Structure formats: C-alpha cells, structure tokens
Structure 1
Amino acid sequence: MIINAVSSFRLLENNLKENEKNNTGKKKNLIVHGSRVLSAITLLKLVKRINKNEKIIISDIDKQEIEDTLKSLIDLSFQYINNKYPNAYLARFFSNREKIKELISYLKINLI
C-alpha cells in the first residue's frame, strides 16, 4: 500500500535528518550526499511490510529497525568509501553511477 511506503519514508527522512545533525565531517557529508542511496537500501529491507495490502501502523519496533538499519548503512558506507576511495570527495562520489552501483552491491551483500 502506498500509505505504508509514505509513512516509512517520512520516518526514514526524519531519522536521516537526526543522523545528519549528530555527525560531523566526512560522515555528515556521507549522509547529506548519500541520503538517496541510504533511503533506497533501507526501504528495500522493509519492502515486505510496506507492500502489504492493508495499512500498517509503524510501531516502536519498526522505528528502531529503521534507526538500526540506517546506522549500519552509514557505518558500512563510511568504511567502504574510506577503504576503497580514501581521498574521495563525497559530492562527486555520489554523482558517479559506477561508484554508486559498487556501493549498493556492497551494502546489499552486507546488510540485506
């Protein structure tokens, strides 16, 4: 149901904003420039519940799962970029399709 996706996405966006406020430096830039990648992977993880034919109520457990998933994605992305592209300028990194595909593949393997 579309309402489930919208509710999940709103919660996800709020969590990204909180993470952005609570981080500094390269990690903050990763959240700012990589927010669409982080959102997409998080929603992929939640897709079974979002696609139900009935309206779901987002519980504290769901909120915690979104928070934990985002934290893991941020940490995994940060490690991946620092290991593979230590001198990368993140605004340019997230405008490079090939690098985004690499990162998404890595995140899918290590998280979902």
Structure 2
Amino acid sequence: MNNLRNSSVFGAMLFLSMGCCFGDATVVEFSELDEAPTLISPQPLEMPGLRADRRANGKYWVFLEIDEKGCVVTAHTVEGPSLRFGEIIEENLLDRQFTTPSKGGQTVRAYSFLPIPIHFQ
C-alpha cells in the first residue's frame, strides 16, 4: 500500500484510528472486534460489459466501513492496478452484507483495509 499516504483516504483513516465517533457509534478497526466480520452469502464480483483484461490482474486494497448492522457504508479502492476495476469492486461491495461487528458485546461501526485479489485468465 505504498500510495496510501498520498490518498485522501489516509486522512480519514488517521481520523478514524484516533477513536472518533459518529453520533452514538464508535468506529473501530476490525482487529479490535470480538470477532472479525464475515461476508454473508459471498458471491463473485459482477463485471457486466467488461471483458477480461490481464492488465487488471493483481491485488486491490479497499477501505471498507460497515455499520452496526453489518451493511457496507463505505468502500473505497485506495490502491490497485486499474482504477476502472477498483470502481467496480466498490460498487459490488456496497451491496454486500457482513455479520454484525461488536466490541465488548456492544455493536459498533467497524473499518479495515481489505486485499481483494483479481485474476483474469
């Protein structure tokens, strides 16, 4: 994640990591949770109208924030081989549901950077 420091997301992540709150909800990193949230009904990414492009192969790092119900609130690709595919990853993640994040038995908002590998053959 070499370009992370140059990303506008870096400032947001720094702010979040300082223990900020949104309303009544504390936002914590996945590693601080009682149990890491898992994707409910994982499905392949949908890429309508795009053909396989080997130049897009690689790992995409996505900043992901989920709310107290496990709904994806924010998905932002911060690094990857192709911005076009990064946008598609973001769109796909916004429709996904995770298990409810909790810390100390209380539901919380949570965030993390997730690596998402893409490989076209």
| TM-score w.r.t. length of structure 1 | 0.26
Q: 1 or 2, which has the higher strand percentage?
A: 2
Q: 1 or 2, which has the higher helix percentage?
A: 1
| TM-score w.r.t. length of structure 2 | 0.25
